[in-house]
Amino acid sequence: MTSNGAAVIVGAYEHPGRRLPGHTLAGVHRDVVSGALVDAGLALSDVDGFFTDSTAPGLGVIDIAQHLGLQCTYTESSEMGGSSYVAYVGHAAAAIAAGKCRVAVVSLAGLPAQRQMQSPPDTPTPAAAYQVNGYTGGYGPVADYAVLARRHMHEYGTTAEQLAWVKVASSRHAVHNPNAFLREEVTVEDVLAASPIADPLRKLDCCVVTDGGGALVVVHPDVARELGRTGAILRGHGESHKASMAGEVDLTYSANRRSAELAFAEAGITPAHVRYASLYDSFTITVLVALEDLGFCPRGAAGSFVEDGGLISGSGRLAVNTDGGGLSNNHPGNRGGMTKVIEAVRQLRGEAHPSVQVPDLEWAVASGTGFRLAANHYSSTIVLERFA
C-alpha cells in the first residue's frame, strides 16, 4: 500500500487570530474545523476521521470529538510535537487507503499567550536524569537549538548574518499577510541587534508565540473529484525519529533527512522538482538544517543558500514559508506543522498572496520537526502535487 495518490487535501483553514483572550481550546478547535469544512464544501456529518494532538481538552480525541459533534470510525491523538499535523496527513491517507474513513479532519488549537494551553503530561523521562541540563527547567528550547547552531557554524563556517537572512525572508513575506503577527520588514542588521537569548541565537532568530490554530480536510480522491474543489494530492509521506543515538551525537543533521528521503522516494520526484517548500522554522537554524536534510542544497551549504534573499519568493533560490512562517506570521500553540501544510495548500491552489505566489506551481513539500533538534526529536515530511 502506498500513500502516493491515496488522499487529497481539499480544505485548509488558518485561524486569523494571534491573540485570543476569552477563547477556549474547544472553541478554537470548533472555529478551525468549521472553517476547513466550509473551505472544502463539506459538512460536519461528512466527517468520519479525526486527528488531533495530546493538548486537546479531555481524554485524547474522545471528548473533543464529542464536543465538535463528530461521529468517527477512525481517530488518532498520537503526539509528535510540532510535526504531528504533517504526519497526520500521511496517517489519514493510510486510513483512507485502508477503507477506515473517507473524510478526515486534522485539527490544532493552542492558546500559549493566554497561558491556557494544556501541555503534554510533564512526567520526567528516564533520559531527564542525564539530560535537560540538570533535569528540569533551565534548558529551554532556545538553548537546544543554539547548541545546534553553534555546531553548524563550527563545522561549516555558517555565520549569524546567514541565519538572519532566514528571518529577513520571512518578514518580507509577512508584509503581504494581513493576519501575520509581525508584519514589519526587518533587515539583517535588525536581527543582529536583537537581544541574545542563547548564543548564537537572538530574539529575532526565534519564532513568534501565538494563539490560534488551523485545520485540514483530507479525503478520498473520489470525494475530492465530486467536490470539484482544487487542492493538494498527497504523493509522498515519510517520518523518522532521531534520538540521542546511544551517545553518538551528530548535530549536523536532523530526522528530516530520513523522513524526506522516504517522502521523495514515494513521490518519485527529487527536490529539483520543488519550487515551494514549507520548512519548519521554530528558529532560523531549523530552516538551515532542513534545507540540507531535504536535499535542497549540499550539506553545509545552507548558509550560502539562504543569504542575499535566497528564500524570498520570486527573487530567491527557493520560495520558503511565503505566509511569513513561524518566524513572522504564526506558530499557534508552539506547534508549527499545521501552518506549514496550510501554506503549501494555498500555494498549490494558487491562493497565496499574489506578491508571494509561485507561478504555475505543481509540487510542494511541507516538513515539520517536533521537540528538540539537538536531542530527541521526530520529523514528518509530505510531498504534495496540485490537484485540480
Q: Which stretch binds other proteins (CB under 8 A): 26-34, 56-64, 121-129, 338-346?
A: 121-129
Rounded to a whole number of angstroms, the minimum distance from the CB of residue 141 to other proteins is 11
Q: Single out the segment in contact with other proteins by CB under 8 A; choices: 26-34, 54-62, 114-122, 242-250.
A: 242-250
154 belongs to the binding site for other proteins (CB under 8 A): yes
The residue within the footprint of other proteins, chosen from 147, 180, 219, 260 (CB under 8 A), is: 147
Task: Give the helix/strand (H/E) hosting 68.
Answer: helix 62-68
Judged by CB under 8 A, the number of residues near other proteins is: 40
Q: Is 124 in the site for other proteins (CB under 8 A)?
A: yes
Among 38, 98, 129, 265, binds other proteins (CB under 8 A): 129
Residue (74 or 139) nearer to other proteins, CB: 139
Label residue 363 exposed, middle or buried (CB < 10 Å: 0-12, 13-18, 19+): buried
Candidate list 50, 74, 85, 139; residue touching other proteins; CB under 8 A: 139
d(CA 312, CA 230): 25
Query: In the Cβ-directed half-sphere of 225, how many Cα atoms lie within 13 Å?
Result: 5
Question: How many whole angstroms separate alpha carbon 298 and alpha carbon 26?
Answer: 44
Closest separation between CB of residue 210 and other proteins, Å? 19
In the complex with other proteins, the residue whose CB is nearer, 8 or 148, is 148
Closest CA to 232 of 112, 50, 92, 108: 92
Single residue of 121, 248, 359, 360 touching other proteins by CB under 8 A: 248
- Residue span binding other proteins (CB under 8 A) among the ranges 31-39, 244-252, 267-275, 346-354: 244-252
Nearer to other proteins, 228 or 247 (CB): 247
Q: Supply the DSSP symbol for 332.
A: B
User: Angle at which helices 160-174 and 284-293 pack, to 10 degrees?
Assistant: 100
- Which residue of 94, 128, 192, 194 would you call a contact of other proteins, by CB under 8 A? 128
Rule CB under 8 A: say whether 78 interacts with other proteins. Answer: no
User: 19 or 154: whose CB is closer to other proteins?
Assistant: 154
First and final C-alpha spacing in the chain: 24
Per the listing, cell 509522498 goes with: 236
Determine, following the binding rule CB under 8 A, whether residue 120 of this chain makes contact with other proteins: no
Q: How far is the CB of 140 from other proteins (least distance, A)?
A: 6
Identify which range of 22-30, 38-46, 192-200, 335-343 contacts other proteins by CB under 8 A: 192-200
For position 127 contacting other proteins by CB under 8 A, the verdict is yes
Measured CA to CA, the distance from residue 371 to residue 385 in angstroms comes to 28
Q: Is 121 left (phi over 0), alpha (psi -120 to 50) or beta?
A: beta
Which helix (H) or strand (E) segment holds residue 285: the answer is helix 284-293
* Residue 199 lies near other proteins (rule: CB under 8 A): yes
Q: Does 251 bind other proteins (CB under 8 A)?
A: yes
- Residue with smaller CB distance to other proteins, 94 or 192: 192
Does the footprint of other proteins cover residue 113 (CB under 8 A)?
no
Q: Whole-number minimum distance, CB 307 to other proteins, in Å?
A: 22
Q: Whole-number minimum distance, CB 384 to other proteins, in Å? A: 34
Phi first, then psi: what are they for 241, rounded to 5°?
-105, 140
Is 159 near other proteins (CB under 8 A)?
A: no
C-alpha grid cell for residue 275? 519550487
The DSSP H or E segment spanning 174 is helix 160-174
For residue 263, the one-letter residue type is A
Run of H or E residues at 217: strand 212-219
Distance CA 23, CA 27 (A): 6
Residues 337-376 that bind other proteins (CB under 8 A): 374-375
Q: Does 183 bind other proteins (CB under 8 A)?
A: no
List CB contacts of 214: < 8 A, sequence separation 6 or more.
12, 13, 14, 15, 32, 36, 85, 107, 108, 332, 338, 339, 342
Question: Which range in 4-12, 94-102, 105-113, 247-255 contacts other proteins by CB under 8 A?
Answer: 247-255
Q: Of 173, 209, 202, which Cα lies nearest the Cα of 188? A: 202
Which residues of the chain form contacts with other proteins (CB under 8 A)?
124, 126-140, 142-143, 146-151, 154, 195-201, 244, 246-249, 251, 374-375
